[in-house]
Structures are given as structure tokens and as C-alpha cells.
């Protein structure tokens, strides 16, 4: 476990919360993005109170990086709580039509009112929200038909709101990614760090990579061992540090004296997990009510 609580709440996130409240009157619905690999940890607990009852669609992003069986379980979990859920992968173009249909279904009454008033050409307006690096810019670029939002595999790229027209029937108000000031559950902070929602520059990435090794042995041991050519015998009883060291040795990340290059090993592990090279892995299961 991490020795220090993981937190990251720069000033622009507080500004984003204010902008969200101020812009609610400009939109018809909310599109809330969650990371399919961590559908609980990536749900900002402040969003529902911030949107003040606006119609909402929940979108599970990066689905091709997540365990499909667990994604189905998460859809059921949130659906049972009354959420309207769509699963997408913007890079692969998966689920875009389903999102458009969900918007039309959710806003059917308003669209009918537009029709009766002869306003069929009037577009709906949606606010897109979520934590940093959850895939907002990738989704926007997919449904805008061309590159409208800056996309990078690091959090905090979008720092101001922007309106973006789309080709699927509504305009989007893109908001910067926003976390919350304090993670009550340390595992939430760890999950956010491992998936890249928190800037690596403020983290002890070696410690996070060690935690990731232990988590992968719990959640996806076969994929983890196959990727790094580990055997059950040599991993039995190892703690997170020893697993991390073993992976470093297997990859040949050695420096003088036979020591492991911890930084190189940590960077490799985090990059390969975030890029899906270890496999389609979900770090958490739905919690029992």
C-alpha cells in the first residue's frame, strides 16, 4: 500500500466546478464519462450534486482496454441504480451510434416539443464531464468528425471549456477533467494513479508500479505472468516489491552491481498497463449493495 495518501486537485479543477454550475442553464443533458477499467474509482462523487438533476447519460470509456465480462457487470450495476449506461471505445469507434441513440431516447420529449414547434433543425446541447484522462477529447474528436479537441495520454490537457458541434445530432460543451479534493478510499487514489488520471510528475511512480504488480496478481494473474514470463512457483508468496523486482530482472532492467533500474521498470509497467499490452484488465468489481 502507498505510504502517503494520493491527492491531486490543482486550482483549475475548482474553477471547473464553478463553470459547470454556471453553464448548467445552457445545456439540455449531461454526458458523464467513466473509465471502464475503474468504473467506481473514476466516478467523481460530486458530479451528481453539481448537475442538480439534469438528465444524464453515463458512458464507460476505453472499453477495449477492460475485461468485457466485468464491463457487462458494471453496466448492470449502474443500470440497477437507475443510470442510463453506454459502453464505448472512441479510438476504435465502438458505441458511438449507441450513444447517439441514448441521447435521442433520453431527450425524446424535448425533441418532440421542438418538432411540434417546427424547430426540427434545433440541436440539443450536452455537457461532457469526467475525471482527467478519461477520454473526453477522444470522444469529442470521434463524434465531431474532425479533430476539435487536443488529445494526449496525460491528464490536465483540457483546461478551459469549449463548444464543439458534432455529427450525431447535438452540440457538446467540453469541460476540463475534474477530480475531488480528497479520496476517502486509498484504493481509489491508487486506481486513478495507475490508469493515468493523476499526473505522474506528482507521484512516486515506482511505488505505484509496485502496487500495480500486486493488483495485477490479484485481478489478472495469468495475463500478468504471461506478459512478463513469470511462473506460479517463482511468484508464490512474493509481496509487491519482490514482484516488481522480478519483473525488472525478467526484462533485463539492470544497472551496475546487478541492481534493478526501478524508474525504467516502473515507467514500462505503467505504460504497458495503460496501453493494454498486458491484456484487457479491469481493476475493480461492482460492489455489493
Most confident of 10-14, 175-179, 188-192, 239-243: 239-243
When pLDDT is averaged across residues 252-271 and rounded to a whole number, the result is 94
pLDDT digits (tens, 9 = 90+) for 100-140: 999 999 999 998 998 888 888 888 999 999 988 999 989 99
Confidence of residue 17 (pLDDT cuts 50, 70, 90): confident
Are residues 278 and 225 in contact, defined by beta-carbon separation less than 8 angstroms?
no
pLDDT digits (tens, 9 = 90+) for 24-74: 999 999 999 999 999 999 998 888 988 889 999 999 999 999 999 999 999
What is the C-alpha separation between 94 and 101, in angstroms, rounded?
13
What is the C-alpha separation between 227 and 219, in angstroms, rounded?
14
When pLDDT is averaged across residues 159-164 and rounded to a whole number, the result is 74
pLDDT exceeds cutoff 80 at 2:
no
Amino acid at each position: 500500500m502507498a505510504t502517503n495518501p494520493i491527492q491531486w486537485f490543482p486550482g483549475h479543477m475548482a474553477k471547473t466546478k464553478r463553470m459547470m454550475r454556471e453553464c448548467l442553464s445552457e445545456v439540455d443533458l449531461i454526458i458523464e464519462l467513466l473509465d471502464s477499467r475503474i468504473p467506481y474509482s473514476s466516478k467523481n462523487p460530486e458530479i451528481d450534486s453539481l448537475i442538480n438533476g439534469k438528465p444524464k447519460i453515463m458512458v464507460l470509456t476505453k472499453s477495449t482496454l477492460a475485461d468485457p465480462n466485468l464491463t457487462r457487470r458494471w453496466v448492470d450495476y449502474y443500470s440497477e441504480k437507475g443510470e442510463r449506461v453506454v459502453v464505448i471505445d472512441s479510438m476504435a469507434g465502438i458505441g458511438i451510434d449507441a450513444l447517439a441513440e441514448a441521447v435521442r431516447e433520453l431527450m425524446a420529449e424535448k425533441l418532440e416539443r421542438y418538432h411540434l414547434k417546427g424547430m426540427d433543425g434545433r440541436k440539443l446541447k450536452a455537457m461532457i464531464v469526467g475525471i482527467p484522462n478519461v477520454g473526453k477529447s477522444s470522444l469529442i474528436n470521434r463524434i465531431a468528425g474532425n479533430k476539435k479537441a487536443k488529445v494526449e495520454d496525460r491528464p490536465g490537457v483540457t483546461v478551459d471549456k469549449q463548444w464543439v458541434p458534432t455529427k450525431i445530432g447535438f452540440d457538446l460543451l467540453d469541460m476540463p477533467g475534474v477530480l475531488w479534493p480528497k479520496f476517502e478510499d486509498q484504493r481509489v487514489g491508487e486506481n486513478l494513479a495507475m490508469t493515468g488520471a493523476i499526473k505522474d510528475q506528482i507521484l512516486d511512480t515506482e511505488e505505484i508500479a509496485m502496487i500495480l504488480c500486486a493488483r495485477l496478481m490479484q485481478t489478472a494473474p495469468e495475463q500478468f505472468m504471461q506478459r512478463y514470463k513469470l511462473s506460479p512457483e517463482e511468484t508464490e508468496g512474493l509481496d509487491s516489491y519482490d514482484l516488481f523486482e522480478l519483473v525488472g530482472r525478467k526484462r533485463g532492467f539492470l544497472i551496475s552491481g546487478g541492481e534493478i533500474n526501478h524508474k525504467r521498470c516502473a515507467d514500462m509497467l505503467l505504460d504497458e498497463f495503460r496501453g493494454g499490452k498486458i491484456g484487457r484488465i479491469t481493476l475493480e468489481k461492482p460492489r455489493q449493495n
